[in-house]
Amino acid sequence: MTQSYFEHIQPIRYEGPDTANPLAYRYYDSKRVVLGKTMEQQLRPAVCYWHTFAWAGADVFGAGTFDRPWHAPGDPLERAKQKLKNAFEFFDKLGVPFFTFHDRDVAPEGATLKESHDLLDRILEPMQAEMERTEIGLLWGTANLFSHPRYLAGAATNPDPEVFAYAAAQVRKVLDATHKLGGENYVLWGGREGYETLLNTDLKREVDQLGRFLALVAEHKAKIGFKGTLLIEPMQYTEAEMDAFERFSVRELGLLRTLRASFMLWVIGLNHTPKPGEAYISDLGVAADCRGEGIGRLLIESAEAWARRRQRERLTLWVAESNEGARALYEKTGFTTVRTRRSLLTRLFFGIAQWQFMEKRLAEPPV
* Phi, then psi, of 187 in degrees rounded to 5: -110, 140
Inside any domain, residue 40 = no
In the chain, DSSP assigns E strands to 33-34, 37-38, 46-48, 98-102, 137-142, 185-189, 229-233, 263-265, 278-281, 314-320, 336-342, 354-361
- Kindly state whether residues 182 and 288 are assigned to the same domain: no
Q: Does 259 share its domain with 317?
A: no
CA distances from 251 to 189, 191, 344, 358 (A): 21, 21, 8, 28
Where residue 299 sits, what CATH number does that domain have? 3.40.630.30
| pLDDT per residue rounded down to tens, the chain (367 residues) | 446 899 999 999 999 999 999 999 999 999 999 888 999 999 999 999 998 999 999 888 998 899 899 999 999 999 999 999 999 999 999 999 999 999 999 999 999 999 999 999 999 999 999 999 999 999 999 999 999 999 988 899 888 999 999 999 999 999 999 999 999 999 998 778 876 666 667 777 787 788 889 889 999 999 999 999 998 876 555 555 555 555 545 444 444 444 554 555 444 445 677 889 999 998 888 877 778 888 889 999 999 999 999 999 999 999 999 999 999 999 999 999 999 988 766 776 667 888 999 999 997 655 5
DSSP-derived letter for residue 234 is P
CB 174 within 8 A of CB 224: no
Are residues 193 and 324 both part of a single domain?
no
Per-residue pLDDT, 250: 46
Active site residue 102: yes
* Structural domain range at position 296: 278-361
- Is the distance from CB of 66 to CB of 55 less than 8 angstroms? yes
In order of 67, 173, 192, 271, 304, the CA distances from 232 in angstroms are: 34, 18, 13, 16, 35
**Count of C-beta atoms within a 10 Å radius of residue 256:** 21
| The predicted structure's pLDDT at residue 263 | 57
Residues 240 and 124 in one domain: yes
Flag whether 38 is in a domain. no
The predicted pLDDT at position 252 comes to: 40
Task: Tell me: do 102 and 177 sit in the same domain.
Answer: yes
Residues 334, 208 share a domain:
no
Residue 1: inside a domain:
no
Catalytic residue among 29, 67, 71, 105: 105
Q: Which residue among 102, 117, 176, 179 is the active-site one?
A: 102
236 and 288 belong to one structural domain: no
Interatomic CA distance for residues 250 and 85, integer angstroms: 44
How many structural domains comprise the chain?
Answer: 2
Q: What is the pLDDT of residue 363?
A: 76
Would strands 314-320 and 354-361 be described as parallel, antiparallel, or unpaired? antiparallel
Domain end (from 235, 265, 295):
265
In a domain, 222, yes or no: yes
Contact 168, 162 (CB under 8 A): no
Q: Are residues 221 and 253 both part of a single domain? A: yes
Same domain, 177 and 222: yes
pLDDT at 164: 95
CATH, residue 221: 3.20.20.150
Q: Is the pTM of this model over 0.75?
A: no
200 and 315 share a domain?
no
Q: Are 288 and 250 in a shared domain? A: no
Domain C-terminal end among 242, 265, 288: 265
Residues 132 and 257 in one domain: yes
Is residue 20 assigned to a domain?
A: no
By the 8 A CB rule, do 330 and 301 touch?
no
Beta bridge partners of 304: none
Question: Does 3 fall in a domain?
Answer: no
Q: Is residue 119 part of a domain?
A: yes
Handedness of CA 283, 289, 294, 298 (dihedral sign): negative
* Distance set, CA 367 to CA 164, 308, 362 (Å): 57, 19, 15
**Is residue 83 one of the residues assigned to a domain?**
no
- Domain limit, last residue, from 244, 265, 286: 265
